[in-house]
Amino acid sequence: MPTKSPVNPENAVELFLKIGLDERVAHNTVANNKVTNNLLAVINEAGVTDGCNRTTGNLLYTVATKFPSNALVHRPVLAEYVVSSKIKTPAQLEAAFTFFSDIGPEKFSSNDFEKACGVGVEVSNEEIEHTVGEILEESKATILEQRYKTNVGDLFRRVRERQPWADPRIVKQVVDTKLRELLGERTAADDEKPVKKKKEKPAKVEEQAAVTPAQPTEEDLNPFLIFPSPEENLKVHTEVFFSDGSVLRPYNSREILEKHLKVTGGKVFTRFPPEPNGYLHIGHAKAMFVDFGLAKDRGGNCYLRYDDTNPEAEKKEYIDHIEEIVRWMGWEPFKITYTSDYFQDLYDLAVELIRRGHAYVDHQTADEIKEYREKKMNSPWRDRPVKESLKLFKEMRRGMIEEGKATLRMKQDMQSDNFNMYDLIAYRIKFTRHPKAGDKWCIYPSYDYAHCIVDSLENVTHSLCTLEFETRRASYYWLLHALGQYMPYVWEYSRLNVTNTVMSKRKLNRLVTEKYVDGWDDPRLMTLAGLRRRGVAPTAINAFVRGIGITRSDNSLIRVDRFEYHIREELNKIAARTLVVLHPLKVVITNLEAGKVIELDAKKWPDAQTNDNSALYKVPFSNVVYIESSDFRMKDSKDYYGLAPGKSVLLRYGYPIKCTDVIFGPDNETVVEIRAEYDPEKKTKPKGVLHWVAEPSPGVDPLKVEVRLFDRLFLSENPAELDDWLGDLNSNSKIVIPEAYAVSILRNAVLGDRFQFERLGYFAVDKDSTAEKLVFNRTVTLRDSYVKGGK
């Protein structure tokens, strides 16, 4: 049951000084809301609102800060023991913490408790002196050698082991006195600091030893170690502070937990609960990793549960997409469920909530509810009779009340400091056909009402969500406690925010519907459909998410280059190399016979062996080849490795060529053709290496493909914080090259294939490809070339 705490937190400092805390500690305590609330509650439980002596006050402060959270129902008992001086030493207090931590919220025997904490045990001065004497005698030789440099702390520890309930102040006095009797007065030598021996430098080694990298922590290797096992779910989940001073400390009784464990077999059960009203983005990838990942790590199960409580926004298109993307990401749901599967259970529990006096039918409009919440005022219908609310709720269910004329609200706390306890709506009327339930229902549960109950009904062990839901924890546990339902373990983690993009569902929807992008799977978006179309591998997304970790550090903005690093790492392993020229410049080899074609071996992989035909492909070399127009300039320089008049370069997998002449267009400025000679003996060794594509036969152009170069969608790192966020769109985020030249091996590429276009980046076949023309999307460049800071 909640306990009363009538103390006003504004007077906290004054009260803390009354119980003997010094001024610095009192002010530091008030700066921490959690410790302040705990200490105020303990002071009230101990009945010392008028003050107490310093020793008692310090012990109570320790109770407030260190009492085990799984046994908070017993804290008032310990407070009484402290005030009555039955527990009066830190050692006794630590023993009490251990005792309560072990038994949790269960009932206990006073005799067992008092025995464990040494209540009533008085250790006389003579007993302390005898014990100290024994210990000093045992260590006499060492003490005489080390004198006052003896480790006194170790002596105290040994006394504490033999006399755990001895007064530590008396122990210190006795130890000091007996040491002085044994050693005499301190000398100058006793106060000298010990001379530190210099470490000998190791002999120089010819070869420098390799630097050993720091060993990763267990949490780095397994981010799921932070989560408790299902059997541990007996602790108090949270503290809900009410405006009348009462505090709710919800927890599972052993009976409820054992019933839950019997159903689950002790396995971990999680759930990934998206709303089917949009496409999933990279933030959902983190949620999947946490939910499915924890279940997989512990040998448990994860539900894919559609939160389909809003029939107006849900579409089958989204439901199908979500299931497909979950599996594409490498996760397999234990079972696919819908909140609508539990509509009857939810309705029955709402009736029970009304019967228990924890819900009422309200007739305020949406604007009135908003106004009353802002003013922290109760609804005029809040205290209507239970029978009346039951009757009206049944009428809502039967469609006898107009939409917008009534809601069912939970009777929580309109004066709470937590706005998510302002009598949240449990049910509203909507005469809208439900995509799955059809016309069976005209009232629908809210997220705040349904989410926690369905977690409980599905016996979820770990309910994991992002930090913006942290303030809903109070409502989550209030409702399950009010209904006497099993309570899952709730844990919030930081949401994933990436630079140079937006992930708000509203903003994404606007980008799509107003045609700023080409649909939900536009490769510039951080939707999972967009990333897949861009060519990003799901393993790269999961590696990125795992690398970030499951932390509670809020408002962190992860640079997109960090994500791109993982994309490159994955594609480097799976993408075959090939040659494509985006902006072709014609090069005529004058010393190679026209019509002659030399077949060369090119490598699909950097470490391909020349005797492994499967790792090689053929490229033709003829007297007409094409290089990138950007790989030629009229003026050479030391730091330039491209082609220039009179200069040689090496054609990748081919021969060195030397520019002998340049042909200009009608404007006498634009280079339209280069004349060059090749070195068939490969005697020249140029530094520059260029990618290229040749005519496969005389007069026949190489394979033409369309290439789309994608870049950051927004110029600023955090466009979401801008008033004119649409004005920050990057006009060069998509550049289409309609006719690039490619080697013929790409002719057989199909949707899903990924390649490294050498010197250009990683590319993937797009769904717009046809039999007549292939389309490739650039997934990522070979290295990060983006200017830090964005705009």
pLDDT digits (tens, 9 = 90+) for 155-188: 888 888 888 888 888 888 888 888 888 888 877 7
Among residues 761, 726, 734, which one has the least CA distance to residue 579? 761
Q: Under 8 Å CB-to-CB from 85, ≥6 apart: which residues?
A: 56
pLDDT at position 308 is 94
Give dist(CA 307, CA 450) in Å, integer: 9
Range picked from 324-328, 636-640, 784-788 for highest mean pLDDT: 324-328
pLDDT at position 551 is 81
Query: What three-state secondary structure class fits 241?
Result: strand
Are the C-beta atoms of residues 389 and 426 closer than 8 Å to each other? no
pLDDT at position 194 is 60
Q: Which residues have a catalytic role annotated?
A: 275, 495, 505
Region label for 20, one of left (φ > 0), alpha (ψ between -120 and 50) or beta (otherwise): left
* Weakest mean pLDDT among 59-68, 125-134, 199-208, 534-543: 199-208
Per-residue pLDDT tens over the stretch 275-290:
998 899 999 999 999 9
Per-residue pLDDT tens over the stretch 19-50:
988 887 787 787 777 788 888 889 988 999 89
Tokens, residue 644:
């220039």
Compute φ and ψ for 739, nearest 5 degrees.
Answer: -135, 80
Confidence of residue 725 (pLDDT cuts 50, 70, 90): very high
pLDDT at position 648 is 95
Return the exposure string of 510-538: e unless at least 16 CB atoms fall within 10 Å of the residue's CB, then b.
ebbeeeebeebbbbbbbbbbbbbbbbbbb
Number of Cβ atoms within 10 Å of the Cβ of 546: 15
Compute φ and ψ for 193, nearest 5 degrees.
Answer: -75, 140
pLDDT at position 453 is 98
Average pLDDT of the residues in 10-16: 81
pLDDT at position 10 is 59
Give dist(CA 182, CA 136) in Å, integer: 9
pLDDT at position 7 is 44
Per-residue pLDDT tens over the stretch 475-510:
999 999 999 999 999 999 998 999 999 999 899 999
Give me the residue label for tokens 């502070």: 241
Among residues 38, 47, 49, 36, which one has the least CA distance to residue 9? 36
Q: Under 8 Å CB-to-CB from 105, ≥6 apart: which residues?
A: 70, 71, 72, 73, 74, 234, 236, 251, 253
Region label for 403, one of left (φ > 0), alpha (ψ between -120 and 50) or beta (otherwise): beta
Are the C-beta atoms of residues 213 and 199 closer than 8 Å to each other? no
Average pLDDT of the residues in 584-597: 94
Q: How many CA atoms lie within 13 A of 556 on its CB side?
A: 15
Tokens, residue 688:
């520059």
Q: Give the helix/strand (H/E) hosting 648.
A: strand 648-651
Q: Is the pLDDT of residue 679 over 80?
A: yes
Among residues 494, 469, 572, which one has the least CA distance to residue 223? 494
Query: 595 to each of 585, 589, 740, how far by Cα in Å?
Result: 20, 11, 23
Q: Which residues pair with 648 in a beta bridge?
A: 658
Query: CA-based angle 308:313:315, to the nearest 5?
Result: 75
Return the exposure string of 105-133: e unless at least 16 CB atoms fall within 10 Å of the residue's CB, then b.
beebeeeebbebbbbeeebeeeebbebbe
* Weakest mean pLDDT among 60-64, 144-148, 307-311, 370-374: 144-148
The pairing of beta strand 584-589 with beta strand 624-628: antiparallel
Are the C-beta atoms of residues 532 and 541 closer than 8 Å to each other? no
Q: Is the pLDDT of residue 739 over 90?
A: yes
Are the C-beta atoms of residues 487 and 477 closer than 8 Å to each other? yes
Q: Which residues pair with 13 in a beta bridge?
A: none
pTM: 0.74
Q: Give the helix/strand (H/E) hosting 337.
A: strand 335-338
Average pLDDT of the residues in 309-318: 90
Give dist(CA 641, CA 651) in Å, integer: 12
Angle between helix 75-83 and helix 90-103 axes, rounded to 10 deg: 160
Q: Give the helix/strand (H/E) hosting 190.
A: helix 188-191
Decide which of 208 and 784 is more confident.
Answer: 784
Decide which of 222 and 415 is more confident.
Answer: 415
Give dist(CA 228, CA 233) in Å, integer: 8
Mean pLDDT over the full length of the chain: 89
Give dist(CA 378, CA 372) in Å, integer: 7
Per-residue pLDDT tens over the stretch 448-461:
999 999 999 999 99
Q: Is the pLDDT of residue 383 over 50?
A: yes
Among residues 734, 778, 733, which one has the least CA distance to residue 757? 778
**What is the Cα gyration radius of the chain?**
37
Q: What length does the chain have?
A: 791
Decide which of 755 and 121 is more confident.
Answer: 755
The pairing of beta strand 656-664 with beta strand 671-678: antiparallel
Give dist(CA 385, CA 524) in Å, integer: 56
Q: Is the pLDDT of residue 614 over 90?
A: no
Q: Under 8 Å CB-to-CB from 736, ≥6 apart: which residues?
A: 706, 707, 708, 709
pLDDT at position 33 is 76
DSSP one-letter string for 296-349: HHTT-EEEEEE----TTT--HHHHHHHHHHHHHTT---SEEEEGGGGHHHHHHH
Q: Which residues pair with 580 in a beta bridge?
A: 742
Q: What share of the chain in percent tops pLDDT 90?
A: 65
Among residues 629, 622, 618, which one has the least CA distance to residue 588? 622
Number of Cβ atoms within 10 Å of the Cβ of 449: 25
pLDDT at position 784 is 66
DSSP one-letter string for 479-544: HHHHHT---PEEEEEPPPEETTS---HHHHHHHHHTTSSSSTT-TTS-BHHHHHHHT--HHHHHHH
pLDDT at position 432 is 94
The H helix count followed by the E strand count for the chain is 25, 29
Give dist(CA 443, CA 515) in Å, integer: 35
Tokens, residue 258:
């054992």
Decide which of 203 and 243 is more confident.
Answer: 243
Give dist(CA 246, CA 32) in Å, integer: 20
Confidence of residue 53 (pLDDT cuts 50, 70, 90): very high
Q: Is the pLDDT of residue 205 over 50?
A: no
Among residues 292, 322, 238, which one has the least CA distance to residue 70? 238
Tokens, residue 423:
């009598």
Give dist(CA 196, CA 206) in Å, integer: 30
Q: Under 8 Å CB-to-CB from 467, ≥6 apart: which residues?
A: 492, 493, 494, 495, 552, 554
Return the exposure string of 161-190: e unless at least 16 CB atoms fall within 10 Å of the residue's CB, then b.
eebbbbbeeebeebbeebbeeebeeeeeee
Q: Is the pLDDT of residue 575 over 90?
A: yes
Q: Is the pLDDT of residue 216 over 60?
A: no
Q: Is the pLDDT of residue 208 over 60?
A: no
Q: Which residues pair with 778 in a beta bridge?
A: 763
Query: What three-state secondary structure class fits 719?
Result: helix
DSSP one-letter string for 19-47: TT--HHHHHHHHT-HHHHHHHHHHHHHHT
Query: 197 to each of 193, 194, 200, 201, how far by Cα in Å?
Result: 12, 9, 9, 12
Give dist(CA 588, CA 179) in Å, integer: 99
Are the C-beta atoms of residues 652 and 758 closer than 8 Å to each other? yes
Q: Which residues pair with 656 in a beta bridge?
A: 650
Q: What share of the chain in percent tops pLDDT 70?
A: 94
